[in-house]
Structure 1
């Protein structure tokens, strides 16, 4: 009688909702290949950032990630969308100057002007006696001509003697806003080089080269392009003008024009709205690896430490699927008769719809149907993976609980 009473008591206190199937409000899981994609509207940057009243309802979309559709025009803040003019064309060989760049001015009979200069935050070049000269966005040759004109207008040099040479010593770090189909949109700092002996030698040499002030580096600084990115139409906006850049050659091995960036540039990676599996691989513009959250609180491993779920297990290479992540979390293996019916839960946030999606798969199903993408989806950065015990383990724990409850009564 006591056993029956204890059984119904445990059954009434058990959380029955844990036995129900997980339902998702989204149409499809982010990672499904054979779907038609997500339909989303063109979003705009929120007009209000700070509100005077203590009401945050009108700022619900503040800092929301922007998903730019490629079937609609992408407009910048400039009134014109004509191609880049020759003076701003990034295809020219000389990289325009940016605030923070270090240059050297050299001229004959110019002892009071020769020396090294750094462009200030506004991109101005400050020379003795002269008014500040706007140098940002100019090539060294264009800046030298502007300095010559300024010296002639100030009656310091004659036209025949005003010959100025501008030498680039060091390209500074710049901040570039990157938005669209990237994992972490925002302002990205690129070309942040530390001082060393090689840099001292470069300052002495004429010119400077950096591989960290390129378009691909800005996308990688935003944690890489997402699988729904349209890489053949990446938008580069400079001083109100925009061009489309094809970066698909980075993944296919074909030649790519990787444009150098200057301060004030803006990068937009449009979205196709569809998951593209060929983009889920490490590359120069996609993540090499990422962090996931794992929990392996199963009977054979009472905690993550004893289950060897450490930092190396939770850092996975880009392109990892759910079965591989389950093996990394030690959810696969063990006693076949008692542990074969384990389950794995995957929680992920769809970056397009911004909805949290949860799927549950059987370990046996993952192993036998690993080739099906709907059963074995890709794991994305910051996903959560948890392991659940098998049915036999659950029944055994229920029996142990009943014994623990009845033990005090059996002593009388």
Structure 2
């Protein structure tokens, strides 16, 4: 049977974001070895425009996603939402603080401070963009976070109406911008960054350095899961190692799909096998797929410390603590697309840590390189939270009816 070209194109599997990022890095390195200065400056111009648009849209993105996400927590089984949300946020903060402690102890020993110091002032390079366009954001990132929190909490205290509907529609628009504009252009952006670094003779040092950082981050995610399940085992009075072993199918599924949404059925099935009651599991697992991002937070915090050290900066402990608290809030409503968490976090990285375009590009590249590991850590840890909530709930399951009414509307994400 013959097929039209359109049908044939529709049947071809789309190349995922990770392969496209890896391809962009490889092409950036190879082309950068022979690229003329004019070509490097063309992509530097494209990157400057993309970076400017990203700086414009991120505060709007934070307001549009965080406010309705907090507002949604006012529905359903309120006290169980509050309990689960509090535990998930605490777990996310724990992952961030653990990553900060380990990074500050280990990275100065394995990284050469200042080895990427030239990245701190990319505008001084002779191969800068041909031109730039000013794209001032409508408000600062911190303003967006505070406004989103105030409006989100306010929406939980009143019946849903025009304000909530408006934010839901705004969220849909912003998610469409992320899906159709920002994410498709990320490989081009990464290509331009590695093209420029190769032309400047820095790229091989960068790649070699971050391999060690990625290994440390992977080990950190393993430690986080062990701690989560030991705590959950103590609270729930179950064998933590047996419970963690039972959740390995969910971990493997997330590694293969890089999607918390696609992994929910497996995570739910394995949580039931661990012994979590169905009403609790059916409620906690879908909710935590949206709001529990310990693995993603570990990656972002560790990579940010590495970039600061490599760029010749000093890690400000007080600033990093505040950054982790803000990052935890931002992670709750990261857009549901591959790499969405690091896109949402880029605003906080720029505003609080002062990251420039090249540093943000390195964050994006290294984050997506092990995106599936962070997602696997997130969804596996969801079961540990379900074990704790199941124990704390005891026989008080009022407000939970197999999760049919309690399940949040916020889209489970790929982060």
With the length of structure 2 as denominator, give the TM-score of the two structures. 0.21
Higher strand share: 1
Higher helix share: 2
Larger Rg: 1
